[in-house]
Amino acid sequence: MRIDVVTLFPELIQGLCETGITGRAFNTGIFALQTWNPRQYTQDKTGRVDDRSYGGGPGMVMQVQPLADTLAACKAEGATGPVVYLSPQGRSLDQAAVRKFSQLPGMTLLAGRYEGVDERLIDQYVDEEWSIGDYVLSGGELAAMVLIDAIVRLLPGALGDPQSVECESFTDGLLDFPHYTRPPQIAGQSVPAVLMSGDHAAIERWRQKESLGRTWQRRPDLLERIQLSEQQQALLDEYIREQRAV
Ligand code: SAM
């Protein structure tokens, strides 16, 4: 997959290529990342890419020309797929959207700064707007990095064990079950006995029940969006009964 990012701060984005899963995926060619700085495409001799907001008020607005020319350059050099503007006014990013993006051959991300981008640029060049949450960041770079990280870990070969993706939160509409590692006892707390029983069917049942129970406790809104099987409903009912009995 190829990801292009239009940003005034390419060094922030490039950090993704240096560490962790995204760093390894970049170095092994699982995804390609290219950054484009609008300052290199502005026709303003002083390198400006922003100006005051019509109508007054505080803050600057990113201008159409530098961004339009950057997007054109990026396309001319092979960028493919939708142009996505990271914006607090976009649709809320979720795992389903990330999964769809991960199946594309490429996409171009536009990171805004200041008060954002001239609306005419959005109207003419942006295919989709996505938000990473109901709060306002200083710039779209962190949002772009969140999106890239979430996409890259779904690309084939990015994770050491591809099964990791299958049992994660949101994959089947539920939260993940709790995890434990050695030692079996610490500060008076034990690992649930079933996990050390070696009984794979019992472990699987426990995990499913915990996953359903956690979702019910922490994110009931997620449960409203999925249809539980009879077996899942029975497990959840059992979890709820146990909680109420405590
Ligand atoms: N004036 C804008 C508003 O109130 O909707 C906020 C602009 S914000 C200070 C600057 C840039 O940060 C935006 O253009 C966008 O690219 C990015 N940004 C801020 N919050 C974001 C969020 N929650 N999700 C995605 N991008 C965000």
Write the pLDDT tens digit of every residue in 153-162.
999 999 988 8
DSSP annotation string for 108-173: EEEE--TT-B-HHHHHHH-SEEEESSSS--S-SHHHHHHHHHHHHTTSTTSSSSTHHHHTSTTTTS
Residue 163 pLDDT exceeds 90: no
Q: Which residues of 167-189 are buried (b: 16+ CB within 10 A; e: fewer)?
A: eebbeebbbbbeeeeeeeeeeee
Residue 165 pLDDT exceeds 90: no
Percent of the chain topping pLDDT 70:
100
How many A from CA of 49 to the centre of ligand 1?
17
Predicted local confidence at residue 105, as pLDDT: 98
Question: What's the pTM value of the predicted model, to 2 decimals?
Answer: 0.96
How many A from CA of 147 to the centre of ligand 1?
14
65's tokens: 């020309």
Average pLDDT value for residue range 231-243: 98
Biggest CA pair distance of the chain: 72
Predicted local confidence at residue 162, as pLDDT: 81
160's tokens: 């050491």
Nearest CA-CA partner of 114 in 50, 31, 46: 50
Instruction: Assess whether the C-beta atom of 139 lies below 6 angstroms from ligand 1.
Output: yes
Nearest CA to ligand 1 atom 23: 88
How many A from CA of 19 to the centre of ligand 1?
26
Nearest CA-CA partner of 212 in 196, 193, 227, 191: 227
Using CA atoms, how far apart are residues 211 and 165, in angstroms rounded to an integer? Answer: 15
Instruction: Assess whether the C-beta atom of 135 lies below 6 angstroms from ligand 1.
Output: yes
Predicted local confidence at residue 75, as pLDDT: 98
Task: Give strand ranges (E) for 43-82.
Answer: 50-52, 60-62
> Average model confidence (pLDDT) for the chain?
97
Using CA atoms, how far apart are residues 140 and 83, in angstroms rounded to an integer? Answer: 14
**Confidence band for 123, pLDDT divided at 50, 70 and 90:** very high
Nearest CA to ligand 1 atom 1: 115
**Confidence band for 164, pLDDT divided at 50, 70 and 90:** confident
Predicted local confidence at residue 160, as pLDDT: 87
Site to probe by mutation for ligand 1, drawn from 6, 60, 85, 87 as the one with most ligand atoms within 8 Å of Cβ, is 87
Q: How big is the CA angle at 109 (ends 104 and 111), to the nearest 5 degrees?
A: 160
Contacts of 51 (CB under 8 A, 6+ apart): 60, 61, 63
Write the pLDDT tens digit of every residue in 33-84.
999 999 999 999 999 999 999 999 999 999 999 999 999 999 999 999 999 9
Nearest CA to ligand 1 atom 27: 87
How many residues are listed for the chain in this entry? Answer: 246
